[in-house]
Structure 1
Amino acid sequence: MNDLIVFEELEAASNHRIGLATLNSPQTLNGVSLAMCEQLDARLRAWQDDPSIAAVLLDGAGGKAFCAGGDLHSLYRAMLENKSGEAWGNPYARRFFEVEYRLDFLIHRYRKPLLCWGNGIVMGGGVGLMMGASHRIVTETTRFAMPEVAIGLYPDVAGTWMLSHLPRGIGVFLALTGAQLGASDCLRLGLADRACRSTGLEALRAALAATSWSTDVEARAGQVDRLIDGLPDPEPLVPGPLQIHFDAIRAACDRADFAEVCAGIRAWTGHEDPWLARAAATFAAGSPGSARLSHTLIERMRPLSLADVFREEYIISLHCTAEDDFQEGIRALLIDKDKSPRWRPATHEQADARWVERFFRRPWPEGQPHPLADLQA
């Protein structure tokens, strides 16, 4: 049986080493399981405290994906086993979301250069791993998205924080349509720092090993910047579809009224640009409840600290495991694969502002502290 994550330490100049962590479940497009999150969290903490480790590189095996999301099959089984109907009655979900969010928060606050090779599919939980990295590298194969509307969830792993800090309207569009972005659009939005050829991973590893690392940890970020600049450039990047339609998307989606946003996205049904047409089709087929929840969260999360966002998302995610749509979305996409989910609520009109408030109530017993109370802002 293959290791879920392959950990290596690459000898580097100046008596330093480079920590290498490769997500190693290519058959699931490196979807992260609870065990993977636990292993990666433990190793990243050890490397952070090891003075001989100069920097860390995170990538995914198989060539098709860095990470396509989380382990939905295990969450589905846990939802079926939760006969209580209560959000707090799912011990697996409580553990999974706590460990995953702690890991993502650690990456955001990592004290050493942490590079993420975002090649291929980077979606859902993969975005959570990539977003906090100090150096986020994309390639000509990158397909970046938060497609949770298709499975009855919402952009968690601090996706609500990330989307809320994009130009107004853009984050709402990405959340409600699951639209995929390539390297050019990721760079335009500040979701990536550098584009390289997909064949450049070995060159990156060699450059990390050849660097004479400074004893000043803060100076190492600049060293990484310079070595990345020396990697093979990709083919010239042309404006991506989001850049092309940027103004139209903002005009349609930068609205406080949810119904107006829905109408604006529906107007792209059958659009001559297949990218916009596909976005409208995904929205129409997606969970109306997820769309309402995402629209609400992007506004609510904007003023919060990252730690507070993870705490809010933990509450909301547990409620999602007790609501119908998340389980139904996984069933339709991955279990029965009929791609015919029966959403509840069934329409965007039924998913009103009063309905969405159920997701913000703390689900644990009175007087118990938040499981992520110790995250520091």
Structure 2
Amino acid sequence: MEKRLMTEEVLFEERETASGLKLGIVTLNVEKTLNSLTLNMVEQMLTTLSDWRQRSEIACVFIRGAGDKAFCAGGDVQALYRSAVEQPGGPCEYAERFFEVEYRVDYLIHQMGKPVIVWGHGIVMGGGMGIFAGGSYRVVTEKSRLAMPEITIGLYPDVGGSYFLNRTPGSTGLFLALTGVPFNAADALYLGMAEGFIQHEKLDSVLEALVDTPWSTGVGDNHERVLELMRGFAEQSTGALPEGNVEAQAAAIDGLCDQTDDTAMIEAIINLDSDNPWLQKASATLAAGSMLSARLIPAQLRRCAGMNLKDVFQQELITSTNTVRHPEFAEGVRALLIDKDRNPQWRYAAAADVPADEIDARLTAPWDSNPLADI
């Protein structure tokens, strides 16, 4: 027996399994925008995933993106842009509501308890990384292309990035946050951002195996079943794992980030002399990005270092609310996605020009009560 609950932008399916319990499948279903998240999508995900978390007959959850190009390329930043320009200085009602619900979904996935498998095929960026990071078993494939490229639009790596980027080896998380440089499946495994590498052609076989699994009513037992099943598929795929970049450049990254202050670090990355194409791309992206974001990113990561996940999402909502109310974000989106002239008129030409009090203001709550106080 199969039960489908269908919507246009995101699909929810419940497949009955061999034990009579159910596999819940979420499909992000907007291929034309690389499955970018809208407010409608995250609201429906919050409702359905909350229901699945409570229902004992849902044994396992599987999240994927429609099509072959992307799991999820992020949030629908054009909608956030419209909200920002229509309500300059804020409150930016749509954008701020989107951030709140998106973070609720991300936090819920982290806290589901029961196994959550996320199939990170193709582009996994921004808001897609937020969903991906919450999975208890995160799959990367031969075409996985992950990144937190918010530096290019005057934002910063949110959606829990202030948590998971603080937990990577050495200074790699900080470097990825500052440069927005993409990384692949091998990198994700090294960074601790994925549990297994499985070729994308095995997706249907994995879903069939999950349906054939004799699920238990015990959550711990089901996590063990997922690990055992996915390990088998991963062992069949090892030969296709692409060569990574992050581990090979870890020493260089640590050296670049080991500076006297944030400004010196940013300048070191921008001015690096390397014949490595991946490092060159990282340097060029930071150089073209918002210097306000470049100064905000390390400050945000320091603010959240050691915080639990709940506190991280509350701080991110503060920082994101302040950021979307500031014209730097709208200008970044305009240049990249609206006019597409790729010539943003950033407020500051150099990292050293950014006043410390402007960064402090971004990290300070704009309201008396945090909307995420109840998560």
**Aligned ranges for residues 91-106 of structure 1 at < 5 Å?**
91-106=93-108
**Residue pair 1:319, 1:359 contacting (<8 A) in 2 also:** yes
- Aligned runs of 1:212-231 on 2, under 5 Å? 212-231=214-233
Match of 2:268 among 264, 268, 274: 264
CA 1:218–1:145 in structure 2 vs 1: closer, same or farther (change >3 Å)? same
Whether the aligned pair in 2 keeps the contact of 1:60 and 1:67 (CA below 8 Å) is yes
Aligned with residue 301 of structure 2, among 294, 298, 303: 298
Number of the residue aligned with 2:369:
369
Verify the 8 A CA contact 1:214 1:220 in the aligned structure 2.
yes
Q: In 2, are the aligned partners of 1:168 and 1:254 still within 8 Å (CA)?
A: no
Instruction: Specify the alignment match of 1:62 in structure 2.
Output: 67
TM-score, normalisation: structure 1 = 0.94
The amino acid that maps onto 1:130 is F
Identity rate of aligned residues, in percent? 44
Distance 1:298 1:224 in 2: 32
How far is the alpha carbon of 1:345 from its aligned partner? 2.1
Shift of 1:238: 5.3
**CA offsets, 1:202-250, max 9 Å, x none?**
0110110010012211210010001112224143435411111111101
Select between 230-239 and 255-264 the one with higher mean Cα deviation.
230-239
The equivalent position to 2:249 in structure 1, one of 245, 263, 269, is: 245
Q: Determine if contact 2:263/2:295 at 8 Å carries over to the other structure.
A: no
Residue of structure 1 aligned with 2:333, choices 322, 330, 335: 330
Segment drifting more, 10-19 vs 162-171 = 162-171
Q: Which amino acid aligns with 1:244?
A: A
CA distance in 2, matches of 1:355, 1:94: 20
Q: Paired residue for 2:287?
A: 284
Alpha-carbon distance between aligned partners in 2 of 1:23 and 1:139, rounded to the nearest angstrom:
17
In structure 1, what is the equivalent of residue 3 of structure 2? none
Residues 1:342 and 2:332 aligned together: no
Q: Write the letter of the residue equivalent to 1:8.
A: E
Pairing 1:235–2:239 present: yes
Q: How does 1:1-377 map to 2 (within 5 A)?
A: 3-83=8-88, 85-86=89-90, 89-231=91-233, 232-237=236-241, 239-255=243-259, 257-268=261-272, 271-364=274-367, 368-375=368-375
Q: Contact conserved, 1:311 with 1:372, CA < 8 A, in 2?
A: yes
Cα separation, 1, equivalents of 2:59 and 2:321: 37
Amino acid at match of 1:204: V
The secondary structure found in structure 2 opposite 1:235 is helix
For residues 314 and 15 of structure 2, the distance between their equivalents in structure 1, rounded to whole angstroms, comes to 36
Tell me the SS of whatever aligns to 1:342: coil
| Offset at residue 74 of structure 1 (A) | 0.9
Which shows bigger deviation, 259-268 or 312-321?
259-268
Give the deviation of 1:165 after TM superposition.
1.6
1:109/1:254 CA distance change after superposition, 3 Å: farther
State the alpha-carbon separation in 1 of the partners of residues 238 and 15 from structure 2: 26
Check conservation: 2:59, 2:114, Cα contact below 8 A. yes
* Structure 1 position 255, deviation (Å): 3.9
SS of 2:239's equivalent in the other structure is: coil
The whole-number CA distance in structure 1 between the counterparts of 2:260 and 2:87 is 36
| Cα distance in structure 2, aligned partners of 1:254 and 1:204 | 43
RMSD: 1.5
Q: Please state whether the residue corresponding to 2:351 is helix, strand or coil.
A: coil
Q: Distance in 2 between matches of 1:256 and 1:29?
A: 40
What SS does structure 2 have at the residue aligned with 1:230?
A: helix
Q: How many residues get paired? A: 368
Give structure 1 stretches of 5+ with no counterpart: none
Deviation at 1:267, TM superposition (A): 3.2
Structure 2 segments unaligned to the other structure (5+ residues): 1-5
Change beyond 3 A, Cα 1:254–1:200: farther
Q: What displacement does 1:342 show?
A: 0.5
Letter in 1 for 2:77: L
Per the TM alignment, residue 132 of structure 1 is displaced from its structure 2 partner at its CA by 1.0
- Kept after mapping to 1: 8 A contact 2:142/2:240: no
Structure 1: how far apart are the matches of 2:238 and 2:332? 37
- Matched letter for residue 244 of structure 2: G
Any idea what the Cα deviations from partners look like across 1:147-193, whole Å, max 9, x if unmatched? 00001000001111111122232111101110111100100110000
One-letter identity of the residue aligned with 1:59? R
Q: Report if aligned partners of 1:292, 1:348 keep a CA contact under 8 Å in 2.
A: yes
Deviation at 1:93, TM superposition (A): 2.0
- The range that moved more, 89-98 or 114-123, is 89-98
Moved over 4 A (4+): none
Equivalent AA in structure 2 for residue 44 of structure 1: L
CA positional deviation for 1:95: 1.0
Residues 143 and 346 of structure 1: CA distance in aligned 2, closer, same or farther (over 3 Å): same
Amino acid of the structure 1 residue aligned with 2:370: H
